[in-house]
Structure 1
Amino acid sequence: MYFAALLARTEDGWEASDTELDDVETLSDLSDLAREALAEAGAEDDTVLVFIEQEDAWFGVVRVDGEDDPRIYVSDAAAAARSSYGEILLTDELLGKDPDDLDDDLDALDLDGTEDGDTKTADDEDEGSEGAGAEIVPPGPIGDTEILADLGVPEKELLALDGVDALSEIADALGAAEVLETVR
């Protein structure tokens, strides 16, 4: 089960709204959704936080400040990689991959997923080989650990957060616990 909410900082404090991510397929889509929330709150040049949580497995925070590029923090990259919403946050840049490298790797593959000249055998499939498109994502936190430092959640505290109450603890530190609970 997922929970997703937007927290927009306005002159009057934080405004929260729950959000559906069904139509969000990319980080760009998510950033646009966040910027729309800022516009609706009348705070186009301010900050919006997108909170995404999957039960006890992982949580993510995306911060959008006006027209700046979004900043991302994910509590457990490996857990998020197994989630359709987590995959939105785990961009090549966040994972330290060069998108051009992926294109080069794909050019060297035959249509069956083997490298040029190689043949795929039944033994390869039995051994559980994952193929060229499989990605290994490290477990643990990934992203901008200073994402909330200026808002009252320093890196050390962010990295210590784990479990179902993480987003509530962040909201409490921001002074937005009550507004977040209204949409939970």
Structure 2
Amino acid sequence: MYFAALLARTEDGWEASDTELDDVEALSDLTDLARDASVDEDTVLVYIEQEDAWFGVVRVDGEEDPRIYVSDAAAAARSSYGEILLTDELLGREPGAEDEIAALEELVGLDGDEADDPEFGPGDDGAAGRRTAAVDTDDDPEAVPAGPIGDASILADLGLSEQALLTLRTDALAEIADALGADEVLESVR
């Protein structure tokens, strides 16, 4: 089960609203949603969680690039909403690298004979009658690290230290809202 909320900072404190992510397909859509909720281009936080699996925070300050923190990148990678947050830049990949890798994989074996291909070892043909490529997981460009990823200091100036954020696991939103002084307004939308 997912939960998403927007916290927009105003002169009077924080305003909270729950949000639907049905129309959000990319980080840019999420950033636009946050900017629309912004009051005078002040800070907006987008919080997304998949119950007991992972949570993510996106911080948008005016027209600056969004800052992102994800509590468990590997768990988020298995989620459609998590994939929105796990950008190539956040994962340290070249933009578009995933598309290039997919295109290269399609080119392997176009002639239908992989036996002469140096990337394929002398492995077992197996039941499928195909040789398998030796995979080095250390060099796997699609590998997503387990654990936290992103800007752990994303909330430090708002009252939640980097170390405190890194220790949050379940019910993180309550801890974050408490540190921000936004627990009451957040409860109204939860």
2-side partners of 1:88 and 1:10: how far apart? Answer: 27
Counting only pairs closer than 5 Å after superposition, residues 150-169 of structure 1 correspond to structure 2 as 150-163=157-170, 165-169=171-175
Q: Report which stretch shifted further, 91-100 or 74-83.
A: 91-100
Residue 94 of structure 1 aligns to which amino acid in structure 2?
A: L
Residue 32 (1) aligns with residue 32 (2):
yes
Q: Please name the residue that 1:82 is paired with.
A: 78
Give the deviation of 1:108 after TM superposition. 3.2
Taking a change above 3 Å as real, the CA distance of residues 160 and 28 of structure 1, as seen in their structure-2 partners, is same
Taking a change above 3 Å as real, the CA distance of residues 82 and 33 of structure 1, as seen in their structure-2 partners, is same
Name the SS for the 2:91 alignment partner: coil
Residue 64 of structure 1 aligns to which amino acid in structure 2?
A: V
Q: Report which stretch shifted further, 79-88 or 97-106.
A: 97-106
Between the two proteins, what is the percent identity of the paired residues?
A: 71
CA RMSD of aligned residues (A): 2.5
Name the SS for the 1:140 alignment partner: coil
Give the deviation of 1:45 after TM superposition. 2.0
CA contact (8 A) 2:114 2:131 kept: no
Of 40, 46, 49, which residue of structure 1 is paired with 2:42? Answer: 46
Structure 2 unaligned segments of length 5 or more: list them: 116-124
TM-score, reference length from structure 1: 0.85
Q: Deviations over 1:83-127 (max 9, x none)?
A: 00000000000000012544543453435xx36666396255999
1-side partners of 2:41 and 2:91: how far apart? Answer: 28
CA contact (8 A) 1:72 1:144 kept: yes
Structure 1 unaligned segments of length 5 or more: list them: none
1-side partners of 2:148 and 2:100: how far apart? Answer: 28
Give the deviation of 1:135 after TM superposition. 2.6
CA contact (8 A) 2:93 2:141 kept: no
TM-score, reference length from structure 2: 0.82
Q: Please name the residue that 1:119 is paired with.
A: 114
1-side partners of 2:101 and 2:132: how far apart? Answer: 23
Name the SS for the 2:3 alignment partner: strand
Give the deviation of 1:143 after TM superposition. 0.3
Name the SS for the 2:55 alignment partner: strand
Of 146, 153, 178, which residue of structure 2 is paired with 1:146? Answer: 153
Residue 6 of structure 2 aligns to which amino acid in structure 1?
A: L
Of 56, 63, 70, which residue of structure 1 is paired with 2:66? Answer: 70
Q: How many residues align?
A: 173
Q: Report which stretch shifted further, 149-158 or 95-104.
A: 95-104
Larger Rg: 2
Name the SS for the 1:52 alignment partner: strand
